[in-house]
Amino acid sequence: MTTDTSTPLPQTVPTDRPFARGLMPAPMPVQFLDDLGRRVQVFNDDYPEPSSEQLVAAYGAMVIGRRFDVQATALAKQGRLAVYPPSRGQEACQISSMLALSRNDWTFPTYRDSMALVTRGLDPVEVLTSPHGAAHCGYDPRASRTAPQSTPLATQLIHAVGFASGEKRKGRPTVTMAFVGDGATSEGDFHEALNFAAVFKAPVVFLVQNNRYAISVPLSKQTAAPSLGYKGIGYGIASEQVDGNDAMAMLAVLNKAVAHARSGQGPVLVEAHTYRLDAHTNADDATRYRDSAEVEDWGRRNPIARLEAWLRHEGLIDDAFVASVAAKAEAFAADLRERMSVDLTVDPMSLFDNVFATPTPQLLEQRAMVQAELEAEEASR
């Protein structure tokens, strides 16, 4: 018997649970440690506690990372760097994102993720080459498995997706960690990246460091979403929100997110609630858009002190260990200071080296012109 009714519309709400709560983030940020470093249960049931080794490593990386960041800010104030966008206060996000990855994984950072790159093991001098003025990117992206730090916001997220897809198509088990801030979640490329990642099931972890301000614009003017973690749901991406100043929570969630992506189940979006304690860059005046009470309040959520308190409580570290880490951080900063004090020489002819694999005749003409100018200048000295 024929019928004049069409096929019923499909059920559209997924019933499987690809991540902790299906696609939904927890109703409040996942937390393992409170502000005083006491172990708490805040929507963390689905996440195994990170190993002691990983937590101790995280503590050391945060101390060195913060020291690096403070040193870089000082170098910018001294004029040694053209600019430096600091991440002091965001240490838990910066170091967890790297400790959750394997050596062969890739990362696609922004300009504010220098601390993460140092955690990854990149030479800090090479990380700071760009603001130092010698080249746009000082490190070798292939050798370090780290894409050049991206300034055009959210644009590199799509590269992370294409790269992760490419690796998957080549049969390699690579995961990519893609960084974005709260402001850049308003960019179109953020949304296109999420959509492509979901459609192609790309092994990408999107880490949104919500530090509350896009330069001066507060989150309330950026979005009406209850949480930036919700932005994954519409694309079919498993999402979570985490206390971004709780290193244990960050590691627990990112460990699981990386494993999820690596296992072929697709991308994960993680929103980390954190705070940039310093201004946007050394050229910015944060007092124009936020009051000191707010900064002090966030200062009390110090990710390093929280983890240190818990590690001491568990007997995993002691005074001697803390002192040795502090000494290591000071030595790291001293080495950086010394190496950054050397005046740079850059080959002027390198201007023409990497426009194309083979320079065009027009570039060769311009090269000859600059060469002649320099030789004339030299001769007139």
Partner 1 sequence: MTLNDTARPEGTPAPAAQQVTMSGAINRALRDAMSADADVVVFGEDVGTLGGVFRVTDGIARDFGEERCFDTPLAEAGIVGYAVGMAMAGFRPVIEMQFDAFAYPAFEQIASHVAKMRNRTSGRVNLPLVIRVPFGGGIGGVEHHCDSSEAYYAHTPGLKVVTPATVEDAYTLMREAINDPDPVIFMEPKRLYWSKGFIPGAAAPDAEAFQSFGRAAVRREGTDVTLVAYGPSVDVAMEAASAATDSGWSVEVVDLRTIVPFDDETVVASVRKTGRCVVVQEAQGFAGVGAEIAARVQERAFHSLHAPVLRVAGLDIPYPPPKLEHLHLPGVERVLDAIARLQWDDDADTRFFPDAHLADAGKGGAA
Q: Which amino acid is at 173?
A: P
136 labelled catalytic:
no
Could you count the other beta carbons within 10 Å of the beta carbon of residue 367? Answer: 16
List the catalytic residue out of 80, 191, 230, 289.
289
Query: Nearest to residue 168, comparing CAs of 109, 100, 106?
Result: 106
Q: Is 307 in the site for partner 1 (CB under 8 A)?
A: no
Q: Is 264 in the site for partner 1 (CB under 8 A)?
A: no
Q: Is 379 in the site for partner 1 (CB under 8 A)?
A: no
Measured from the CB of residue 204, what is the shortest distance to partner 1 in angstroms? 10
Q: With beta carbons less than 8 A apart as the criterion, state whether 178 and 206 touch.
A: yes
**Rule CB under 8 A: which of 186-225 touch partner 1?**
188-189, 192-193, 195-196, 199
- Of the pair 9, 143, the CB lying nearest partner 1 is at 143
* Helix (H/G/I), strand (E/B), else coil: 273: strand
Q: Is 41 in the site for partner 1 (CB under 8 A)?
A: no
**DSSP states of 307-367:** HHHHHHHTTS--HHHHHHHHHHHHHHHHHHHHHHTSPP---GGGGGTTSSSS--HHHHHHH
List the catalytic residue out of 88, 112, 212, 280.
280
Q: How far is CA 129 from CA 11, 70, 151, in A?
A: 53, 17, 15
Q: Which residues of 290-314 are buried (b: 16+ CB within 10 A; e: fewer)?
A: beeeebeebeebbbbbbbbbbbbee
Determine which residue in the list 74, 137, 286, 295 makes contact with partner 1, applying CB under 8 A: 137
Measured from the CB of residue 207, what is the shortest distance to partner 1 in angstroms? 17
User: Whole-angstrom Cα distance, residue 146 to residue 261?
Assistant: 18
**Rule CB under 8 A: which of 318-347 touch partner 1?**
none
What number of chain residues touch partner 1 (CB under 8 A)? 40
Q: Is 159 in the site for partner 1 (CB under 8 A)?
A: yes
Q: Is 234 in the site for partner 1 (CB under 8 A)?
A: no
Q: Is 123 in the site for partner 1 (CB under 8 A)?
A: no
List the catalytic residue out of 112, 159, 273, 276.
276
| Structure tokens given for 211 | 């530090």
Specify the stretch interacting with partner 1 by CB under 8 A; choose among 49-57, 162-170, 248-256, 331-339. 162-170
289 labelled catalytic:
yes
Q: Is 180 in the site for partner 1 (CB under 8 A)?
A: no
280 labelled catalytic:
yes
Specify the stretch interacting with partner 1 by CB under 8 A; choose among 19-27, 111-119, 330-338, 349-357. 349-357
User: Whole-angstrom Cα distance, residue 261 to residue 241?
Assistant: 17
- Identify the burial level of 315 via C-beta atoms within 10 angstroms of its C-beta, where 0-12 means exposed, 13-18 middle and 19 or more buried: exposed
Active site (catalytic) residues: 276, 280, 289
Which residues contact partner 1 by CB under 8 A?
Answer: 135-137, 140-142, 147-148, 152, 155-167, 169-170, 188-189, 192-193, 195-196, 199, 350, 353-357, 360-362
